[in-house]
Amino acid sequence: KTYRVAILGATGAVGTELLELLESRNFPVAELKLLASERSVGRSLPFQGENIIVEAVSDRAFENVDIVLASAGGSTSKAWASVAVEKGAVVIDNSSAFRMNPDVPLIVPEVNPQAAADHKGIIANPNCTTILMTLAVWPLHQVRPVQRIVAATYQSASGAGAKAMAEVKTQSSAILRGEEPVAEVLPYPLAFNLFPHNSPLTDSGYCEEELKMVNETRKIFGTQEIRITATCVRVPVLRAHSEAINLEFAEPFSPDEAREILSQAPGVKLLEDWGKNYFPMPIEASGRDEVLVGRIRQDISHPCGLELWLCGDQIRKGAALNAVQIAELLVEKNLLQPTKAYVAR
Ligand code: A2P
């Protein structure tokens, strides 16, 4: 059986990766529609040796579509997801628009695939830093429940889209020429710099990105019991995020046991060479499917604490790959018919 697929936001950083993954993973595509804004009309993108013309998103664009992979920002998803569902498609949405909606499953296939069974037409793809963290923490949490997570992130420009990635390159060459870097997409120059994450600040003092890690991780793990805090920082890296993660358990968790568990965990690759001080780096995580995990060590400040470090490709597992894996899960479990159409307004 093959499926009619539409990519909403096909011209973006995640959209072009979705296209590549559908092809390289041999997703059973019967027909592919590439949707973006009016700005992209007339462009075409290659898929399976053909050039597919990009269309402007419209009501009619969702007719005769089985699966929509949406990655065009929250407001675009809010405007179009329910239209697509009404026309009979299942939407896998990469934006934050529906993630915390109780009617919308939030899925990392290695962690909570069972949640897909309850979908009502929309399935949310979690925030990128959250996806990467859950891959490393879930297998440990299965063995001994984690009580508290303290995370610090080092996030690449790709999370802010293709234009932000281009801006970091332009800023870098400007600085190397001795010129002032210009920031138009990102709020401040990122080249040779870093800044606290540019998502909106909330009354709590946390930015939205940090609260996504808190709230989405709890929803994916299916528990409100875990205490989580995070500091999210944008760094001048192109497409892989890094995270320093401190975990606190009710009893000691030895680094060797954690290593053993993570060496067999799906979607994770353990990468440690203590003799060479060689651990995961964004340049090695870029373009890879697995989250690289290393520097697993006992927290010297707490007998039940464990420290670890990870890097993962933000565009791939942080976004496009996770979305395509959700689509594969829907196909495998025969879940492309929503149980009850969801009308999100
Ligand atoms: P376009 O290229 O036509 O602007 P990124 O995350 O890399 O910035 O990509 C965002 C994606 O979302 C692009 O494909 C972009 O299309 C698309 N997009 C942004 N705004 C809209 C909109 N209002 N309607 C449809 N697509 C949109």
Ligand 1, atom 4, lies closest to the CA of 37
Range 116-135 average pLDDT: 97
Contact 160, 235 (CB under 8 A): no
Distance CA 184, CA 344 (A): 33
Q: Could you tell me if the CB of 161 is within 6 A of ligand 1? A: yes
pLDDT, one tens digit per residue, over 160-219 is 999 999 999 999 999 999 999 999 999 999 999 999 999 999 999 999 999 999 999 999
Best mutation site among 7, 8, 11 for ligand 1 pocket (most ligand atoms within 8 Å of CB): 11
Res 337: pLDDT: 75
Distance CA 210, CA 230 (A): 5
Please identify every residue annotated as catalytic: 128, 241
Res 339: pLDDT: 47
CA of 249 to the centre of ligand 1 (A): 42
pLDDT, one tens digit per residue, over 262-293 is 999 999 999 999 999 999 999 999 999 999 99
Range 209-236 average pLDDT: 98
**What value does the mean pLDDT of the chain take?**
96
> Which run of H or E residues covers position 141?
helix 128-143
Range 238-257 average pLDDT: 98
Res 12: pLDDT: 97
Res 325: pLDDT: 98
Best mutation site among 76, 83, 128, 185 for ligand 1 pocket (most ligand atoms within 8 Å of CB): 76
Q: Could you tell me if the CB of 104 is within 6 A of ligand 1? A: no
pLDDT, one tens digit per residue, over 25-58 is 999 999 999 999 999 999 999 999 999 999 999 9
Q: Name the pTM for this structure.
A: 0.97
- Split at pLDDT 50, 70, 90, the class of 342 is low
Residue 330 has pLDDT above 70, yes or no: yes
Distance CA 249, CA 263 (A): 20
ipTM associated with this complex: 0.98
Q: Could you tell me if the CB of 11 is within 6 A of ligand 1? A: yes
Residue 344 has pLDDT above 70, yes or no: no
Res 345: pLDDT: 44
- Helix 128-143, helix 255-263: angle, nearest 10: 110
Q: Which two structure tokens, joined as six digits, stand for 22?
A: 């559908």
Residue found under tokens 């628009």: 97
% of the chain surpassing 70 pLDDT: 98
Q: Could you tell me if the CB of 37 is within 6 A of ligand 1? A: yes
- Split at pLDDT 50, 70, 90, the class of 104 is very high
73: left (phi over 0), alpha (psi -120 to 50) or beta: left
Q: Could you tell me if the CB of 76 is within 6 A of ligand 1? A: yes
